Chains A and B, each alone.
Chain A
Amino acid sequence: MSNLSKAFDHGKAFVAFITCGDPDLETTAACVRAMAEAGADLIELGIPFSDPTAEGPVIQSANVRALSGGVTTEKIFELVRELRRDVTVPMVFMTYANVVYSYGAEKFISICREIGVDGLILPDVPYEEREEFAPLCAQYGLDLVPLVAPTSEQRIAKIARDAQGFVYIVSSLGVTGVRSKITSDIDSVVSLIRENTDLPCAVGFGISTPEQARAMAAKSDGAIVGSAIVKLIAQHGKNAAPHVGAYVKAMKDGVRQA
């Protein structure tokens, strides 16, 4: 079993996202440690991209803050190296195809292996284009985590069958961001996934409250939260770590009740 799947070994999982370098890498390091201590089971490290087409305004702004602060892919590799001295929680990179491709996919993926990143989530690489990165991920033992959406319908079976790590269920139409209500039929998506793979699946996009996290984790194997955490960082800046830690703890408690 891959490291990523192990994130789901101790009950329902809470997956926390952060944009690296927002507002600087020291804050990111402090927040990652706070999230790990608060019980996050898996941490998604966002490598900022100039034009994040799957993100709503909250994470778009975080990308702008991070890039204007001068963060680069290489500096983020250094951050992970440093974090891996003490942080053992599974970690994945969430970024866009061009960040990996432009760096040199093999070089990028081999460095991930070396520094202890367990997988990749690339929202602009659908099933049809996974061959661009999947063989290299397999070669270096990384999971290329696939996404399924409310519109995936008959595509879910093949996506689940070829999935690695876990299946990322996009809860709603549209981009990332906090939503007051999630109306999609998550149950039928999950049952289709379970018919086709033994891998865990977790729901993301739009989740911000412990109650939502509990509800989504009850339907699946976990809840993924990004924008709500990024919002806290936007609000508290360099002093965000304790706030992020407290938030993750509350969310993890929510997930535990699922």
Chain B
Amino acid sequence: MTNPNGRFGVHGGQYIPETLMNAVQELEEAYNYYKNDPAFNAELEELFTEYANRPSRLYYAEKVTRDLGGAKIYLKREDLNHTGAHKINNVLGQALLAKKMGKTRLIAETGAGQHGVATATAATLMDMECVVFMGEEDTKRQALNVYKMRLLGAEVVPVKTGTATLKDAVSEAMREWTSRISDTHYCLGSVMGPHPFPTIVRDFQAVISKEIKAQVLQKEGRLPDVVLACVGGGSNAIGAFYHFIDEPSVRLIGCEAAGRGVDTFETAATIATGRLGIFHGMKSYFCQDEFGQIAPVYSISAGLDYPGIGPEHAWLHDTGRAEYVPVTDDEAVDAFEYLSRMEGIIPAIESSHAMAHAMRLAPAMGKDQIIVVNLSGRGDKDCAAIARYRGEDLHE
């Protein structure tokens, strides 16, 4: 799916400072070796099963299905993974790879804190040092995750530049990497950044769609009609889509964070409002002004609050293989509450964006049709913020 130079159509590439070029090339070489190494794969498989609790369940949401009155709704329970989100899949893969490469220190960016917690966890497990960059704004929105990272022994660096959110955390992690390369691996958390990250992260997340495919075939004897996932950078979405890309009967839909609406400036819906650009190491779609200044995006969800989208998603959009739809804060919060009340499952506010689109689609679909919603993370971390969104005076 990737060209040798790391392109997905026109997207992707390696737009990074010269200082980092040897590091990403070394990473690519190591990855190309270890991805075919049976011992590496066995070790990763063992970590997935014994440590991360894979495979995650594909749960039939019967009450939701009945209530919406249309397609059958299945939830891919990535929220039940160790550390509470899909992020651990990628992190265990990259941490193991970094260890094989002789690195002793992991750095990472984080938005909602899920990737930071996962990285801090893997670093602890593998006896590595860990520094996580997090927008100062997000350290406030996700204070619990900051505590968790520190509890796990990681250093959390609040980033005060720019909008003090995810994009600034990525920029700061890149800056840190240029200053310390020899012992440090940048454990990038999404299918973005310079080649080979979009490919590496996708491959480690592809376990999601591999499992969905086997599980849905076993339960229903057929493939789903629709697979839904939320998209910021797009790692859980590409993971949920990957093994269905060559199955044209399966609609793949990514749900972007529209914030207060795609007709406002307070949005993070990249496909809906962005245009082609070059940023954070890749060519892709970005929210930006007419002079190419990256826009200060907004979403209630810290994990989707990013002005770009991974290059493979940009390409899936160009080719029409996947669709991308905006979902507002209001719709996501409604879905957050709906799933909590209907099934006793509190979803991450990120994943609630995908659930919200399922609520739109299902009623108009036939009862014999199937929607799989990738429930990428659990919502404990969001409860206080959603309570405040609903006007309650709740603080962590």
Q: Contact residues of A with B, CB < 8 Å?
A: 49-51, 53-54, 56, 60, 64, 67, 72-74, 96-103, 123-129, 132, 146-153, 155, 159, 170, 173-175
Q: Are B294 and A50 in contact (CB under 8 A)?
A: yes
Interface window among B11-19, B43-51, B123-131, B357-365: B11-19
1/0 per position for B270-282, CB-CB distance to A under 8 A? 0000011111110
Decide if B162 touches A151 in the complex (CB within 8 Å): no
Report B-chain residues with C-beta under 8 Å of the C-beta of A72: 291
CB distance from B23 to the nearest CB of A (A): 7
**Most B-side CB within 10 Å, residue of A64, A147, A174:** A174
Picked from B171, B179, B290, the residue with its CB within 8 Å of the CB of A51 is B171
**Interface membership of B299, Cβ < 8 A:** no
Nearest-CB residue, chain B, relative to A57 = B161
Query: Contacts of B222 on A, CB cut-off 8 Å?
Result: none
Interface size class of B (residues with CB under 8 A): 35 or more
Query: Which residues of chain B come closer than 8 Å to A170, judged between CB atoms?
Result: 17-19
* Distance from A42 Cβ to chain B, minimum over Cβ atoms (Å): 20
- Alpha-carbon distance between A6 and B278 when the two chains are bound, in angstroms: 32
Q: In the assembled complex, which residues on chain B have CB atoms less than 8 Å from the CB atom of A101? A: 276-278, 292
If over half of B's interface residues share one DSSP class (helix, strand or loop), that class is named, otherwise mixed; here it is mixed
Most chain B CB within a 10 A radius of its CB, from A127, A146, A148, A175: A175
Out of A98, A132, A173, which one reaches B288, CB within 8 Å? A98
Which of B18, B175, B288 contacts A152, CB < 8 Å? B18
Q: Are B23 and A102 in contact (CB under 8 A)?
A: no
Q: In whole angstroms, what is the CA distance A228 to B361 when docked? A: 58
| A174 neighbours in B (Cβ, 8 Å) | 19, 175, 178-180
CB–CB A151/B175 < 8 A: no
Number of A-B residue pairs at CB separation under 8 A: 119
Decide if A98 touches B18 in the complex (CB within 8 Å): no
Tell me, in angstroms, the Cα distance from A72 to B289 when the chains sit together. 11
Residues on A with C-beta less than 8 A from B161 are 60, 64
Residues of A within 8 A of B286 (CB): 98
A70, chain B: closest CB distance, angstroms: 11
Q: How far is the CB of B188 from chain A (nearest CB, A)?
A: 13
A73:B178 contact, CB within 8 angstroms: no
Are A173 and B179 in contact (CB-based, < 8 A)? yes
How far is it, in angstroms, between the C-alpha of A159 and the C-alpha of B277 when the chains are bound?
Answer: 25
Picked from B19, B162, B180, B291, the residue with its CB within 8 Å of the CB of A149 is: B19
Q: In the complex the two chains form, what is the Cα distance from A99 to B14 in whole Å? A: 17
Q: Is B136 an interface residue (CB 8 A)?
A: no
B157 at the binding interface (Cβ < 8 Å): no
Q: Would you give the shortest CB distance from B392 to chain A, in whole angstroms? A: 35
What chain B residues lie within 8 Å of A49 (beta carbons)? 292-293
The minimal Cβ–Cβ distance linking A183 to chain B, given in whole angstroms, is 13
- Partner pick for B18 among A56, A96, A99, A126, CB 8 A cutoff: A126
A128-B14, A149-B19 known; 19 new pairs, CB 8 Å cut-off, are A51-B162, A53-B171, A53-B174, A56-B175, A97-B279, A99-B292, A100-B292, A102-B277, A102-B292, A124-B281, A126-B21, A146-B18, A148-B18, A149-B18, A149-B21, A151-B20, A151-B23, A155-B21, A174-B175
